[in-house]
Structure 1
Amino acid sequence: MRKATIGDAAIEVIAAEGMRGLTHRAVDRLAGLPPGSTSYYARTRAALLELAISRMVELDEVTLDPPPGQLAEYVAGFAHAAITKGRTRMLARYEFALEATRRPELREAYDRGGLVIRRRCAEVLTACGSAEPERHSRVLVAWLEGTVFDALAGTGSLRPPGLEELTRGAREVLAGLGVTG
């Protein structure tokens, strides 16, 4: 339980202050833990980063089971949740993505979570009639990631898309892929 609390606090620190703001003391403070608690569970900065990214992957374990005929609505709901209630975790994810380009030890942990989502997306697309589920999942995930990034960190943050706009966009992407879901 304490590792989850530390992981959650680390994610919040990263989202608010970036990777440079991530310290054991900052996590202790935000989690409301006695000084030194984070160091007990993650002795080094690398261990703290690994704990945070593992927690992020754990929180991202989503069930991708859209109701029949509702794939676009499901995808749009996923994007909307990432932009709204999942904002903090998404901002931390972007920080991790950039850090993983410079730190191979983070790359593996970062990619592990992304691959789980991509595989599950391909399974869903297969069930919805995709002729090329792996390629189509790559396109759909890229649309999702680009849309969410733009809404949180890009110029789109000036007017983030609402659920209706996201649903229209998801329908257009899926129609372009020839997926009826």
Structure 2
Amino acid sequence: MDRISVIGDAAVEVIAAEGMRGLTHRAVDRAAGLPAGSTSYYARTRLALLELAMARMVELDQAVIDPDARDLAEVLAATVHAAITVGRTRMLARYEFALEATRRPELRAAYDAGGVEIRRLCVTLLGAAGSTDPERHTRVLLNWLDGAIFDALAGAGSTNPPDRQELADGARAVLTGLGLPLTR
């Protein structure tokens, strides 16, 4: 793994564990096990560090999505399940980013850029699946995904998060409600 990825991963971990106020170049150096000053070499400012962390989260999100899968409900269930299990830290950091971006306009662009990439992937996936209105269907589908993830990590459902089968059943219900095919 390259140094930028290591720093990005460590920044995400720090944000998830300590919130935005805990994010410092030194904290990232410690979390990454790097010599002091390493993070500031690659990200001179706090904004640059935040942008690096956001770019890393988007990169990792894209690696989870399998655009060639045939069963859309299973793709969606796998995506949500990954977000609430192995991607838990990344999602908690994303919530910190979302809240901070509402207060700091300079973060808004970096945060929104990540969302645009995920939406683009979803529009492509739904278009390939036969959606007659992939933009609208993407909005509905991402609202379900976001709600399911938030509830499992930070909402009332966090004490009993859904398993993969429950997520697949939910995805099938949403896809059916949108009139989308379950397989391609």
Q: Which residue does the alignment assign to 2:136?
A: 135
Q: Which residue does the alignment assign to 2:102?
A: 101
* Cα distance in structure 1, aligned partners of 2:120 and 2:66: 10
Q: Which residue does the alignment assign to 1:52?
A: 53
The reply on whether 1:7 has 2:11 as its aligned counterpart is no
Query: RMSD over aligned Cα, in angstroms?
Result: 1.3
1:151 deviation in Å?
0.3
1:127 deviation in Å?
2.2
1:67 deviation in Å?
2.8
Q: Which residue does the alignment assign to 2:18?
A: 17
Q: Which residue does the alignment assign to 1:67?
A: 69
- Runs of 5+ consecutive residues of structure 2 not aligned to the other structure: none
**Aligned partner letter, 2:5:** A
**Aligned partner letter, 1:67:** A
* Cα distance in structure 1, aligned partners of 2:115 and 2:85: 20
- Give the alignment of 1:19-38 within 5 angstroms: 19-38=20-39
Q: What is the CA deviation profile of residues 46-105 of structure 1, one whole-angstrom value per residue up to 9, with x for unaligned ones?
A: 22111211222222224442433x111111111001110000001101111111112222
1:112 deviation in Å?
1.2
Deviates more, 1:22-31 or 1:32-41: 32-41
Q: Which residue does the alignment assign to 2:40?
A: 39
Q: What is the aligned length?
A: 180
Instruction: Give 3-state SS (helix, strand or coil) of 1:161's partner.
Output: coil
* Cα distance in structure 2, aligned partners of 1:56 and 1:179: 29
* Cα distance in structure 1, aligned partners of 2:47 and 2:98: 15
Is contact 1:11-1:52 (8 Å) kept?
Answer: yes
Is contact 1:28-1:36 (8 Å) kept?
Answer: yes
- Runs of 5+ consecutive residues of structure 1 not aligned to the other structure: none
Instruction: Give 3-state SS (helix, strand or coil) of 2:103's partner.
Output: coil
Is contact 1:27-1:38 (8 Å) kept?
Answer: yes
Instruction: Give 3-state SS (helix, strand or coil) of 1:61's partner.
Output: helix
* Cα distance in structure 2, aligned partners of 1:137 and 1:144: 10
TM value normalised by structure 2: 0.92
Percent identity for Structure 1 against Structure 2? 69
